[in-house]
A and B are shown apart, each in its own frame.
Chain A
Amino acid sequence: AQKVTQAQTEISVVEKEDVTLDCVYETRDTTYYLFWYKQPPSGELVFLIRRNSFDEQNEISGRYSWNFQKSTSSFNFTITASQVVDSAVYFCALSGHSGGGADGLTFGKGTHLIIQP
């Protein structure tokens, strides 16, 4: 069965601080994809990044960066110089067979990020 663990339920930092959101996954598949989504208070999930299991290069997009380490089954997300607009719930997800066996995304429980002005 697949599993995604986001151990940080809530993180609160002051604006301009750097913050890292952790994601650890479990899967038996050799080919899989990892995702990060942002859920602002409006509720809609916004896609941030997709990574396949064969590409361990770190990725940077503006203030966002992602560190994929297959050896530790982790796909961590760092926001540099955080801003109030970054406040949201962030979900890590894994594609393939879900915990119940169906095909879909397996989500972690999310990390609520609060950026204080």
Chain B
Amino acid sequence: DGGITQSPKYLFRKEGQNVTLSCEQNLNHDAMYWYRQDPGQGLRLIYYSQIVNDFQKGDIAEGYSVSREKKESFPLTVTSAQKNPTAFYLCASSIKYLQETQYFGPGTRLLVL
């Protein structure tokens, strides 16, 4: 079964702590993306990667970091510099170019203790 998995489903962060959200896909897609969703809002782009070992900042990259060492994996780290991290985080992937359809994972809800 092909798809995108995200873990954990819920994540709790203490102040000053870095946390990492996992995103894995077995669709053989080149491009991967991270979005943030706040209540009552649309999704906003955090980072995207068009190919392995390459990634670009999105609209709200401050306080976040990513890596793309494998085609299947695109983890997102929420650093202590992100002052308002409470949100729903969605990972997506697409076959190749950005004009292609993006398919989404089930999301991770991050809460601050």
B-contacting residues of A (Cβ < 8 Å)?
4, 9, 31-33, 35, 37, 42-47, 50, 52, 91, 93, 95-96, 98-105, 107-110
Contact = CB atoms under 8 A, between A and B. Distances in A.
Given A103-B56, A104-B33, A109-B40, A45 B45 contact: no
Q: Name the 8 nearest CB pairs between A and B, nearest first.
A: A100-B59, A107-B42, A104-B45, A45-B104, A102-B58, A44-B106, A43-B107, A107-B43
13 contacts: A32-B99, A37-B104, A43-B106, A44-B105, A45-B43, A95-B99, A98-B59, A102-B48, A104-B59, A107-B42, A107-B44, A109-B42, A110-B42
B56 to A, nearest CB: 7
A44 to B, nearest CB: 4
Given A104-B98, A107-B43, 6 more contacts: A45-B92, A93-B42, A98-B45, A98-B58, A109-B41, A110-B42
Interface in B83-113: 88, 90, 92, 98-99, 101-107, 109
Contacts of B107: 43-44
B90 A104 contact: no
Contacts of A100: 45, 58-60
